Structure 1
């Protein structure tokens, strides 16, 4: 077992609890690659390592004698995206910003490349990779997740914008409305307006203003976000209204002011602010 503990010691001392097969090969050049792979497989079997994905491992702390151990999900996302552009977004970012109390069993990772498969499972936790093109890949900040570690996460304003673009990745419109209500005095409105403009999603802006008006949150920016009369006229002519909540069925009343199909009960949304 000496080499197994040598591996643990080497990477623990260098403060790199996550490492690849290639990292091990560079450190233990005297051992053949095939033998190293067998050793790493044995270490996983003996609960010394967690296999995060092909060729990527994490050292199980000695105090965690649990075959289902998994590191902090946000750290796992960081390790999975080594040498790639990424940020933790949507519902997972809402968790980092302390806007939710019930974590999901899915970690949402935004990338600027198509990753396949787009969903993987590690120790019962799903990691989902969501592609954003270059125009929507901004608003990223190195954010503390505990006393020792930072990860790339969408900042508060970008988390809100992303959530209104794809409500289904953020727990649905009710969770997003609660986040808007919670951050109403914290958010940088100028930055938020610029982010909506840069993202280029008019429907996201309309969803945001709808929720703000519903919650009686006013801003001088709101009318600017709605001022696209040609688009609203086209929506009224074609009847191709997008849903307020992409996590809910495609049904409900049309609201022509916002150009949305309101597929959530508005009283339920308002009541959720106080429960």
Structure 2
């Protein structure tokens, strides 16, 4: 027989709802609430609150309060840990792209299936554990999420430009941010990624766009370049000019690269 739920709320349900509201967490789990040992039949109470529309389930065992605006970055990073907002979402956060997307890109060293919650799509990009670094904490009220710092965001976007919104957005992000970037940190982040191609890309682009402050980066890059030629833009044609200095197949003309950067002006 189907159980019928009334719109009324029991004393226990009200106590739990008030506790959740006062606790301040935007997202909470059954496990966290049980740990307080304040409520009997915690799972049943949460189920009742969900059916009465007072809380919304974002995935198994995780909920948000239905009457509260929820930061999508906070939701996304609570769906898997460790994780951090990254790629196009981080570019947007730092004001390095004008693209607006309902996809939140989340970097993690674990595997997680993509999800859609409250009309927002969450895409999880699994990376090798050695690439999970360069993150900072951002507070939302009494809660927080992690996001890649600006230097790691740029490095990530040239590591996997498909998640930056494309190669053009990665170039634009580099151009807009180049005066604000800590060049020493950028170099160490790039080296730590163990992807020689992204070092080539950053070195070449900083040279062709005449970005100030990248002299040491290019000098360091010249010492570690591997001889194999790799693509400047992995999302475009494999045909292009073989540039010996940077061991790159440059599959965009200089005027095209300038145009990518100029879209940021």
**TM over 0.5: same fold?**
yes
5+ long unaligned stretches in structure 1: 65-70, 236-240
1:8 aligns with 2:21: no
Match of 1:226 among 206, 222, 227: 222
Contact 1:172 1:245 in 2 (8 A): no
1:85 aligns with 2:82: yes
With over 3 angstroms needed to count, the CA separation of the structure-2 counterparts of 1:4 and 1:17, relative to structure 1, is farther
1:182 aligns with 2:198: no
Match of 1:30 among 40, 44, 59: 40
Q: SS in structure 2 opposite 1:16?
A: coil
Q: SS in structure 2 opposite 1:221?
A: helix
Aligned 1:25-104 pairs, distance under 5 A: 25=34, 29-31=39-41, 33=43, 35-36=44-45, 38-43=47-52, 46=53, 48-61=54-67, 71-81=70-80, 84-104=81-101
Moved over 6 A (4+): none
Match of 2:154 among 160, 163, 185: 160
Count of residue pairs brought into register by the alignment: 250
1:124 aligns with 2:123: no
Contact 1:252 1:264 in 2 (8 A): no
Shift of 1:184: 1.6
Separation (CA, whole Å) in 2 of partners of 1:116 and 1:107: 14
Shift of 1:265: 4.8
Superposition RMSD in Å? 2.5
Shift of 1:25: 4.8
Separation (CA, whole Å) in 2 of partners of 1:100 and 1:206: 22
Match of 2:130 among 135, 147, 166: 135
Contact 1:173 1:244 in 2 (8 A): no
Give the TM-score normalised by structure 1. Answer: 0.80
Shift of 1:243: 2.9
Contact 1:25 1:36 in 2 (8 A): no
Separation (CA, whole Å) in 1 of partners of 2:253 and 2:31: 53
Any idea what the Cα deviations from partners look like across 1:190-226, whole Å, max 9, x if unmatched? 1111111121110010111122122111423213213
Equivalent residue, structure 1, for 2:203: 209
Give the TM-score normalised by structure 2. Answer: 0.82
5+ long unaligned stretches in structure 2: 1-8
Equivalent residue, structure 2, for 1:242: 230
Contact 2:172 2:260 in 1 (8 A): yes
With over 3 angstroms needed to count, the CA separation of the structure-2 counterparts of 1:203 and 1:177, relative to structure 1, is same
Equivalent residue, structure 2, for 1:68: none
Contact 2:107 2:125 in 1 (8 A): yes
Separation (CA, whole Å) in 1 of partners of 2:179 and 2:103: 29
